Amino acid sequence: MPTIIRLRQSQEQQIFDCLCANKEINLFLMGFLAEHPVDHAWWYGVLHEGTVTGVIMVLPTRLAVPWIPEPNDAVLLGRMLHTQHRPCLMVGPRETCDILWRVWAGDTQWDRYYEQRLYVASDALVGVGIPGFRRAHLEEWRTVAKNAGLMEEEDLGINPHKENPLLHEKAVRERIKVGRTFVISLQSEIVFQINVGTVTPWGCQIGGTYVPPKWRGQKVATHGMAELNRHLLQSHSLVTLHVNEANTPAVRLYERTGFVRSTPMRLITLTT
């Protein structure tokens, strides 16, 4: 019979070994584990004969990200979560998240329930440099923060720049400082921006794509994505992202710029 335990720092290698079963799906968790001590979050594991075979990382009331290959193990973890944490935003493999949410959340109603898809790029498109493509400058943080908030409002219905401006702006400045926000600047205006959210030796994950409305339909996102892929794939073996499958323009953009459909994912949002 499998057991469910809270994992501690001494079990970091076991968590890592479990996640390595699918590096494409687990880039975010692997990057989070590399940057934060295990006790920074609540990591729970499913143990079969002493071996960790599934995990979930929980930031209470904020985020839950699972990697639980066996459906029966997801049921067990869902029961445990039901007694320990309030349901919160969840993102991960579709079947796992659906089982977890049903058992964990019970009658709690989600706000948004998206059919996501993992996309993966491993070969950069041939091309030349795009004028205006570069890392964001720190003095641009106010514009970048505004755009990032509008992007989340379009995608998730919540604008963190309005809900918690100090925290949101701090996070934006930190991303710019470490060189993880890229933009296209034309006519002294940011017309495209995107974040490299996770960087690991096994690949990186991007997100937060935003184009101001007046610049949409002019291929700036296509140019920006293609150029970012060329840049990242010089030093990484793969680049991944999640996209809402109902967002047809975004899906077409990513497929045009070298991304290939991979695992079905789920995104569930909840206003706590």
Residue 189: inside a domain, yes or no?
Answer: yes
Asked if residue 64 and residue 145 are part of one domain, the reply reads: no
- What per-residue confidence (pLDDT) applies to 170? 96
CATH number at residue 180: 3.40.630.30
Model confidence pLDDT, tens digit, residues 91-136:
999 999 999 999 999 988 899 999 999 999 998 877 767 889 999 9
Partners of residue 190 on adjacent β-strands: 185
Asked if residue 89 and residue 53 are part of one domain, the reply reads: yes
Write out the residue range of the structural domain in which residue 194 sits. 133-264
Residue 59: inside a domain, yes or no?
Answer: yes
Asked if residue 95 and residue 43 are part of one domain, the reply reads: yes
Three-state secondary-structure class, residue 84:
helix
Which of residues 94, 109, 124 is at a domain's end?
109
The number of distinct structural domains making up the chain is: 2
Model confidence pLDDT, tens digit, residues 30-58:
999 999 999 999 999 999 999 999 999 99
Model confidence pLDDT, tens digit, residues 80-92:
999 999 999 999 9
Residue 96: inside a domain, yes or no?
Answer: yes
Asked if residue 257 and residue 144 are part of one domain, the reply reads: yes
- What per-residue confidence (pLDDT) applies to 107? 86
Per DSSP bridges, beta strands 239-244 and 203-210 are: parallel
Q: In terms of DSSP H, where are the helices of the chain?
A: 12-19, 27-35, 71-84, 94-105, 141-156, 160-163, 165-177, 220-232, 248-256
Residue 146: inside a domain, yes or no?
Answer: yes
Which of residues 109, 124, 142 is at a domain's end?
109
Nearest-angstrom CA–CA distance, 229 and 239? 7
Mean predicted lDDT score pLDDT of the chain: 94
Q: Count how many Cα atoms sit within 13 Å of the Cα of residue 64 in the half-sphere of its side chain.
A: 30
Residue 120: inside a domain, yes or no?
Answer: no
- What per-residue confidence (pLDDT) applies to 272? 58
Residue 196: inside a domain, yes or no?
Answer: yes
Q: Count how many Cα atoms sit within 13 Å of the Cα of residue 23 in the half-sphere of its side chain.
A: 11
Per DSSP bridges, beta strands 90-93 and 189-200 are: unpaired
Residue 211: inside a domain, yes or no?
Answer: yes
Asked if residue 138 and residue 105 are part of one domain, the reply reads: no
pTM: 0.93
Residue 75: inside a domain, yes or no?
Answer: yes
CATH number at residue 36: 3.40.630
Model confidence pLDDT, tens digit, residues 130-187:
889 999 999 999 999 999 999 999 888 889 888 889 999 999 999 999 999 999 999 8
